[in-house]
């Protein structure tokens, strides 16, 4: 027979002589959470201060034009159509280079992740070539491919390729081996294991790689356009700098920032859609 306590509220007799003290709470902190509006408020405050500094003459507008001047420059560029010419040229280069580099990176990354031969050969080459700043290859690529769009797209593709290949084979390596063994234990064919186990398992790493390659592509397009292009945000920023048109220079920088933000949002959307199970 179980010996049950009669009154659940009953507690052992307290020592009435000693004074009871509350236990001090020690678990606070180490759990940062961004407030819903704090980022926007900070942004507005910084822009306001910046505007005030420009309007009050605390800062020479030639060195740091106020936000209103930058907005006006963007508006004028949009009206003249120059903004579209520059932005579209950059977007086409980034898009073509990123897609080419990503496709090649996915193929090579999966090959390295799945085949011993590809791993032996591929990792050696990737380790040797990955650290090279890809923009240093642009002159060589111009020699090989001419002075048109091809060398710029190839530079971006090269930069994207290495980061993608690394994130893909790291993602494949990170797929829990127990899941692969489970699939093998049910006699699931190789192609099906790749499609249903390895691909979804590697996807978080691949998407994280996309985030990196998007910024690599942006960096390389600006660099390549600064070296040799008539149109493109990089060329526009360089030209504005040479002419001391700092409002236009910063207008180009704002466009780059907006482009980066848009790509980030797109990848967030992809993650929400494809990694909803996390």
Partner 1 sequence: MVSQMDLIADHISHRFGALEVLDDVSFTVRSGEVVAIVGPSGCGKSTLLSILGGLLQPSAGRAESRGAPAPDSRNPLTFVFQDFALLPWCTVAENVEFPLLHCALTPCERRAVVDDALRRTSLSDFRAAYPRQLSGGMRQRVGIARALAVRPAILLMDEPLSALDSQTRELLMEDFVGLLADGSMGAVYVTHNLEEAVRIADRIVVLSRRPGRIREVVTIPLTRSERGNIHARERLLALQSELWSLIREQAAEAEREVQHA
Interface positions with partner 1 (CB under 8 A): 178-179, 181-189, 192, 196-197, 200-201, 275, 277-278
Tokens of 244: 């001391």
Smallest distance from partner 1 to CB 114, Å: 18
Residue with tokens 């280069």: 93
DSSP 69: H
Smallest distance from partner 1 to CB 267, Å: 18
Smallest distance from partner 1 to CB 277, Å: 4
Residue closer to partner 1, measured from CB, 92 or 208: 208
Smallest distance from partner 1 to CB 4, Å: 19
Residue closer to partner 1, measured from CB, 146 or 189: 189
Q: With contact defined as beta carbons under 8 Å apart, do 162 and 129 qualify?
A: yes
Measure Cα distances from 122 to 50, 195, 223 in Å: 50, 22, 28
Start-end of H helices in the chain:
38-55, 67-80, 82-114, 116-129, 138-145, 150-174, 177-185, 190-193, 199-228, 233-242, 246-274
Residue closer to partner 1, measured from CB, 26 or 181: 181
Compute the distance between CA of residue 94 and CA of residue 107 in angstroms, rounded to an integer: 20
User: 138-145 and 199-228 are packed helices; what angle lies between their axes, rounded to 10 degrees?
Assistant: 80
Smallest distance from partner 1 to CB 61, Å: 54
Smallest distance from partner 1 to CB 276, Å: 9
Smallest distance from partner 1 to CB 211, Å: 20
Among residues 128, 126, 108, the alpha carbon closest in space to that of 118 is found at 108
Neighbours of 205 (CB within 10 A): 19
Q: What does R_g of the chain's alpha carbons equal in angstroms? A: 28
Compute the distance between CA of residue 119 and CA of residue 112 in angstroms, rounded to an integer: 4
Compute the distance between CA of residue 233 and CA of residue 84 in angstroms, rounded to an integer: 10
Smallest distance from partner 1 to CB 268, Å: 18
Compute the distance between CA of residue 68 and CA of residue 201 in angstroms, rounded to an integer: 47
Residue closer to partner 1, measured from CB, 48 or 189: 189
Residue closer to partner 1, measured from CB, 69 or 198: 198
Residue closer to partner 1, measured from CB, 201 or 241: 201
Residue closer to partner 1, measured from CB, 183 or 216: 183
Residue closer to partner 1, measured from CB, 195 or 265: 195
């Amino acid at each position: 027979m179980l010996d049950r306590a009669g009154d659940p509220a009953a507690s052992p007799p307290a020592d009435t002589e000693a004074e009871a003290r509350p236990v001090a709470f020690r678990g606070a902190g180490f759990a940062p959470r961004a407030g819903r509006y704090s980022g926007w408020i900070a942004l507005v405050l910084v822009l306001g201060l910046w505007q005030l500094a420009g309007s009050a003459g605390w800062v020479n507008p030639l060195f740091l034009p106020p936000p209103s001047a930058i907005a006006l420059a963007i508006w004028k560029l949009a009206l003249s159509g120059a903004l579209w010419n520059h932005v579209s040229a950059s977007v086409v280069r980034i898009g073509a280079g990123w897609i080419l580099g990503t496709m090649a990176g996915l193929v090579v990354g999966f090959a390295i992740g799945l085949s011993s031969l590809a791993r032996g050969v591929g990792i050696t080459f990737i380790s040797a070539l990955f650290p090279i700043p890809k923009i240093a290859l642009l002159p060589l690529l111009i020699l090989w491919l001419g002075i048109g769009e091809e060398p710029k797209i190839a530079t971006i593709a090269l930069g994207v390729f290495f980061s993608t290949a690394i994130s893909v084979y790291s993602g494949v390596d990170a797929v829990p081996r127990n899941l692969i063994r489970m699939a093998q234990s049910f006699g699931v064919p190789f192609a099906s294991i790749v499609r249903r186990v390895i691909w979804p398992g590697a996807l978080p790493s691949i998407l994280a790689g996309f985030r990196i390659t998007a910024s690599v592509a942006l960096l390389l397009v600006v660099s390549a356009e600064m070296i040799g292009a008539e149109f493109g945000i990089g060329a526009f920023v360089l030209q504005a700098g040479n002419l001391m048109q700092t409002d236009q220079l910063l207008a180009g920088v704002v466009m780059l920032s907006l482009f980066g933000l848009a790509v980030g949002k797109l990848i967030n959307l992809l993650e929400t859609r494809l990694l909803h199970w996390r």
